[in-house]
Structure 1
Amino acid sequence: MGERKVPGGGLTVAAVFAAVLAACSGYGAHGGDAGHRGERAAAPAPRLSVAALRKKAAAAGRECPVAYRPGAALRAAGVRGEAARVEGGSVLGELPDGPDEPLTRARGALVDCGYRLGGERARLFTVGVRKGYAVAVLLPQIQHDARLTMDQLRRFARQARDAEPGRPLLAPGGNVAAVRLPGAGDGDVALVVTLGEGRTRLSGRQVATLADRLAEQAPGGDAAGAASTRKSHR
């Protein structure tokens, strides 16, 4: 099982994590499905539990253990030609390791699948936690990849904490998006998509749609339900 390295080192990660969580007093109270889709008639898809994600992280090999189809998601976002070319890359699984790690405190698991999309670096992070909200674990990574200031990161963290499942949240700069997935059982599960190095050739709408469609592909994705949120991406 590989080890994910967040740029900046452990002290930077700890400082960012502590500062943002201090601004988001709801940490630890969130978890599970908010249930806002109960009125929809479509039968629920199989959902991704934190326990299932832990197994995927532990068994991560050469292929992404979450059944994402980035090529199809790019086409749905209106990306064509060379920009829609997909190349496989790294696959890492991460489980709690050490008492001060964010995953340990959140009792979570992470799967990191890397690709090249149209020549741009892309990473699909699937994260699940039993305590708190899933996106919080990846805030240092989001700050680095989206080049966010601390104020921007705090605002994004609050929005991610309150986000409804299935609705993509685009970070300032437009190259990072997060989507909460409707999880199974206790806990919170999310997908975070990052593209490029601080910027991407795709538009903000394309990145939001890409994240939306990838979330639909994951176990627990709800194609019928997510469709109702697309008009509100941008």
Structure 2
Amino acid sequence: MSGSRHVLPGAAVLAVALLAGCQGGTDDGAGGDGVPVSVERLAEMADEVGPDGSGTCPLPYDFAKAASTAKITGEAGDGAAAGDDEPAATAENGYKAEKGAPFADNPGGLVSCWFHVGGQSVEVHLIAAEKPQPESLLAPVLVRVSGQDAQELNPYLRRTEKGEPGTPVLGTTGDYATVRVEPEGEGHAALLLTLGEPEGPGLGEDQLSALSRALYEQIS
């Protein structure tokens, strides 16, 4: 997904990070750095990223390790693939939303980070909100990535609503996947992966699913 700068439009700018408990790594190498994240801290991260984005992702993902865990070959690392000028991270602090904005009635935050494996760019969105199914707030992103319209996404969002934490729910076009995340404390959270246009072979559905699960394990 190129050109996906945040702030998100309309109902897209969402609520984010109740992801409150990034816990320690696992013996299989899939785990993260164990840096605790609360909704307030994620909003603070959004401020640190700033309105123009940042050259580094503030969240403790190890994308190369996740790609290896998912058995995806190719050089993997931070930032979008070569030739894509997206900032490494973009974010939104919903506590500062103006009246009438999506965050106004559902405060939280959003942090999105770009990574790459081979010629494939992957954007990882972490979103949480006080009300259920925060991933639905990212529908405009899914429309842009998939080429589907909002009505076509409704069945997918019904599936994510029923999804189990840690179980990726793949989109029908194969270029996005959502994993429900259980935050520490109250609220609702989700991890959404969206794919950019690849230079060469892109990720298959099984690879995207495995990558989503590996990144989820780093923050759960």
CA shift digits 1:78-112 (9 cap, x unpaired): 211xx343242521220122223223332120001
Paired position in structure 1 for 2:130: 130
Structure 2 CA distance for aligned equivalents of residues 62 and 113 of structure 1: 10
TM-score (norm 2): 0.73
- Partners of 2:43 and 2:187 in 1: CA distance: 12
**SS in structure 1 at match of 2:88:** strand
Q: What SS class does the counterpart of residue 58 from structure 2 fall into?
A: coil
Aligned to 1:75: 68
Amino acid at match of 2:6: R
Distance 1:74 1:133 in 2: 26
Separation in 1 of the partners of 2:207 and 2:44? 31
Q: Distance in 2 between matches of 1:144 and 1:128?
A: 21
- Residue pairs, 1:44-123, within 5 angstroms: 48-60=37-49, 61-80=54-73, 83-88=74-79, 89-96=87-94, 97-123=97-123
Does the 8 Å contact 1:169/1:178 carry over to 2? yes
SS of match in other structure, 1:59: helix
Structure 1 or 2: larger helix share?
Answer: 1
* Cα distance in structure 2, aligned partners of 1:203 and 1:186: 35
Letter paired with 1:90 = A
The question of whether the paired residues in 2 share the 8 Å contact of 1:53 and 1:128 is answered with: no
Q: Distance in 1 between matches of 2:37 and 2:155?
A: 27
Amino-acid identity (%)? 26
Q: CA RMSD in A?
A: 2.7
Question: Aligned partners of 1:47, 1:169: CA distance in 2, in Å?
Answer: 25
Q: Which residue of 2 aligns with 1:194?
A: 194
How do 1:162-173 and structure 2 match up within 5 A? 162-173=162-173
The runs of 5 or more residues in structure 2 that have no matched partner are 13-17, 21-33, 80-86
Task: Note closer, same or farther for the CA distance 1:123–1:154 as it changes in structure 2 (3 Å cut).
Answer: same
Q: Which residue of 1 aligns with 2:204?
A: 203
Letter in 2 for 1:152: E
Distance 1:178 1:90, change over 3 A: same
CA 1:66–1:166: 2 relative to 1, 3 Å: same
Alignment partners' CA distance in 1, 2:213 and 2:40: 23
Q: Structure 2 vs 1, CA of residues 114 and 120 (structure 1 numbering), >3 Å: closer, same or farther? A: same
- 5+ residue gaps, structure 1, are 18-30, 34-44, 222-234
Q: What one-letter code is carried by the residue in structure 2 that aligns with 1:208?
A: S
Q: What secondary structure does 2:212 align onto?
A: helix
